[in-house]
Amino acid sequence: MNCANPLDAGILGDYWAGALSQTEEETVEEHLLGCDECGERLLELGALADSVRKLARQGSLLMVVSDRFLQRIAAEGLHAREYTPPRGGNIACTVTADDDFLIGRLTADLSGAKQIDLSLCDERGIERLRLTDIPFNPRGGSVAFQQSITYAKAAPSETMIARLIARDDGGARSMLGEYTFHHTRTLPGPGT
């Protein structure tokens, strides 16, 4: 196989994502109907996309999610357990065997922030993980993040503190909010 004009990898990605204009899409499809080499590359991309989709449905990623993502979960009949602790306050939480996703919603005034980090700390306030430069809508008033449901179902009772930290253009940091989650394990097994 020798394609004289192989399609750019980015174009293939946009094509699979449905992000090309109609004219661009037609050009790509004409090429693909005559080229096995580029078709093979697209097939590999499709397999990667399918696997990412399956991974996302497992609820095991730690990440910030959009409201639309949560709507999609619900539309698929999956159950998301969501907790919204008050800013500066705490909330008791757990997870059951029927839950597919675990969501923490952190409310704060995001309107002036240029960049926001989500810091996840243990019960002493010591940072264990930081999600840097998370996506957020300045007008949204909250950030929803997905905790791994796989981890939550296996985790013992514990406390986690989440902090939203804004960074301005000069690098100065300010705390937008702190939220404490008291997780009680209710599923049977070690750590109950």
Partner 1 sequence: MEIEASDAELAARIGSGNDREAEAELLRRMAPRIRLYGLRHLRSEPAADDLMQQVLITTLEALRAGRLREPEKLVSFVLGTCRMTVLDLRRNAQRKERLLDRFGADLLKPAPAPVEDLDQELLARCVQGLKERERAVIVMTFYDEQTSADLANFLGVSEANVRVIRHRAIHQLRNCMEVGG
- Tell me the CA distances in angstroms from 53 to 37, 65, 83, 128, one per residue in order: 25, 14, 24, 28
Here's the x/- map for partner 1, 59-78, by CB under 8 A: it reads as -xxxxxxx-xx--x------
Here's the x/- map for partner 1, 115-144, by CB under 8 A: it reads as ----------------xxxxxxxx------
CA pair distance 134, 159, nearest whole angstrom = 22
> Whole-number minimum distance, CB 188 to partner 1, in Å?
25
**Contact between residue 62 and residue 147 where contact means Cβ atoms under 8 Å apart:** yes
Tokens of 164: 């939203």
Closer Cβ to partner 1, 50 or 123, answer by number: 50
Three-state secondary structure call for residue 111: coil
162 near partner 1 (CB under 8 A): no
Footprint of partner 1 on this chain (CB under 8 A)? 9-10, 13-19, 26, 29-30, 32-34, 36, 39, 42-43, 45-57, 60-66, 68-69, 72, 131-138
